[in-house]
Amino acid sequence: MKDFQLEHDIEQAKNGNELVRHQLINRYKPYILNIVRHICKRVVSWSDEESSIGLIAFNRAIDTYESGKGRTFINYAYFLINRDLINFFHQKNRNNKILSLDYQPEGQESLITEIEIEQAMRDYQVKVESIELVDEILELDQQLNEYSIGFEELEKSSPKHRDTRETIHHIVHDFMEDKECMNELFRKKRFPTTLFVRKTGYHHKTFERYRKYMITLILIELHPEWEHLRRFVK
Amino acid sequence: MKEVDGGVVVKVTEKQIVLFCNNGTFKNIPRSKNHFPLIGERISYKGKTKLFQPKGWMALASIACLLFLMFTMVPIKDAEAAYIVAFDINPSIEVYLDENLKGMSIVSLNSDGSQIVSKINYKGKDLSQIVNLIIDQCVKQHYLSSDGNSLVATTIIPTQDERKITQSQLKSLIQTSLKQHKVTADIDVELGSKKMVKVAHENNLSVNKYKEYKDLKDQGVDISLETARSTPMNQLVKKEKKKNNQSDKNPSNNKNQNKNNQSNNNQGNNKSKDKQNPGQAKKNENKPNQNNQGQNNKGQNNSNKEK
């Protein structure tokens, strides 16, 4: 998602558009869980309190994010989730009791300083290759979900040899030039193997094996703005 | 010696980390207990070594298959068996027996033998039962008939010192079975050694055929291994008989035989395998001196032959 689109959506959500807020949260859910697990260093599910704190922090990030300060939304959200979870752990240790879901860190806003945010941004940027790449991965993940494909399934359908990879790229290129096949793919949200085999004469087995990988390639090719992801497939 | 590959984390699940690798493929690597990398984090992992790539595995698998085939093709039971009894009727069969003369395995050495072996259930059966089953199948498949032109050539190869079966006992077993099936055939029972089995197998011949081949060679008959392999056992024996008869008619051809013309005549008859004619068998048994003489004359070639 381009920065201006994201900022527009955040602005909409701030102004009370609950649908856009809901869409934003849904899109970043895997990312929120990933950050929570990264900070907690253990498997956390949506039924755990830590993930709820992450969600609340993210929701607050939508409300408090200011685009004009030269920071990205993802980074800001990471900072808030991290901070809230640390406060939660401190409080939990102090009280030695489980907190309720409507937990709010005390005096949270006053504790945030620009220096802290800058430091958190630097730490985060050291960890991830690039914030834009994170955004692209989340978007790709969301789009793959529409085709019922999870990232973890793609290893099996990835071509192992360079020759095969090149062949797959040629096939994808041919596929994308065929409007009927592309329309069929968008409409049915699955690879139109029979139609494409009939048109091109490629072997049926190739598609069965590499189908999910080819859909991923097509989605990346369809998004020239995903500059960071596209570097991997070139 | 592992290669280090790299990729960017696209997903972290409970058990694995999904990487989008530099070569454009996806890779799932196991996640260690407290390691939860962030999406977008670059991670290096140790890939598989060249040695264990498919080509390496294929080579190893091929070697393993070859070794397996080598061990399964060679009758390894031979080493464990107390006795080997080799039959050549034209079907060439080797029966491996334990110290109690119970069947351990049966190996066919030619296609005719395979037809017989496939119909025989030797498990838990002793030598007399196995002999009976072999004769039974040979009669059913018309390798033996009542015309008297058939031959049952056998060799006992004991692999241990203890002898629970003698040549005469085996001959008697075969005779009884032939009688029961109302067929007649010459019976030849000889004694062999493990070394002989080894040499015969090396030449891709059955023990009986190899002995006959050696006899013919010793008598100056020009015969190749290939011919011996493809010629039925009774034909080989006929060749030997014919050669013997020629020698009888031209004793001067064989200086060593000059002194024993009388014995040679007897040998001619004796060398022709024992007919399934009780009368004649009895007659032969009643002439031990003659037999001994015959054996002595033939002796250089095969002192163990029982007539």
| Residue A214 to chain B, least CA–CA distance (Å) | 11
8 Å CB contact of A34 and B24? no
Q: Average pLDDT for residues A153-181, to the nearest whole number?
A: 90
Query: Does residue A118 lie within any of the structural domains?
Result: no
Give the residues across from B11 on adjacent strands.
Answer: B18
Q: Are B88 and B229 in contact (CB under 8 A)?
A: no
| Residue A234 to chain B, least CA–CA distance (Å) | 8
Asked whether residue A106 carries a pLDDT value surpassing 80, the answer given is no
CA distance A169 to A173: 6
Asked whether residue A163 carries a pLDDT value surpassing 90, the answer given is no
pLDDT of residue B266: 42
Same-domain pairing of A93 and A164: no
* Of the listed ranges A24-28, A89-93, A194-198, the one predicted with least confidence: A89-93
Query: Does residue A131 lie within any of the structural domains?
Result: no
| Residue B7 to chain A, least CA–CA distance (Å) | 9
8 Å CB contact of B18 and A134? no
CA distance A55 to B271: 103
The structural domain count of chain A equals: 2
Q: What is the CATH number of the domain that holds A98?
A: 1.10.1740
Among B169, B191, B160, smallest CA distance to B83 is for B160
8 Å CB contact of B11 and A37? no
Q: Average pLDDT for residues A156-176, to the nearest whole number?
A: 90
8 Å CB contact of B10 and A165? no
Instruction: Give start and end residues of each alpha helix (H) in chain B.
Output: 54-73, 77-80, 111-117, 127-140, 167-180, 194-202, 207-218, 225-230, 233-249, 255-258, 261-271, 278-285, 288-298
| Residue B3 to chain A, least CA–CA distance (Å) | 15
Same-domain pairing of A44 and A103: yes
**Is ipTM over 0.85?**
no
Residue among A134, A150, A159 minimizing CB distance to B40: A134
Query: Does residue A126 lie within any of the structural domains?
Result: no
Residue A163 forms contact with B (CB below 8 Å): no
Residue of A29, A41, A43, A144 to mutate for B, most B C-beta atoms under 10 A = A43
Give the residues across from B88 on adjacent strands.
Answer: B92, B153
Range of the domain at A206: 139-233
CA distance B153 to A142: 81
pLDDT of residue A137: 92
pLDDT of residue B259: 43
Percent share of chain A, pLDDT over 90: 34
Same-domain pairing of A105 and A143: no
Domain residue ranges in chain B: 2-79, 83-240
Q: Per-block average pLDDT, block size 10, for chain B (307 residues)?
A: 72 89 90 85 70 60 75 54 87 87 86 85 86 88 81 87 80 88 87 85 85 83 80 77 65 46 43 42 41 41 40
Q: How far is CA A47 from CA A43, A52, B176, in A?
A: 11, 8, 86
Sign of CA dihedral A91, A92, A97, A99: positive
Query: Does residue A114 lie within any of the structural domains?
Result: no
Query: Does residue A222 lie within any of the structural domains?
Result: yes
CA distance A188 to B171: 82
Q: Are B274 and B186 in contact (CB under 8 A)?
A: yes
pLDDT digits (tens, 9 = 90+) for A8-58: 899 999 998 999 999 999 989 989 999 999 888 888 889 999 999 999 999
pLDDT of residue A63: 92
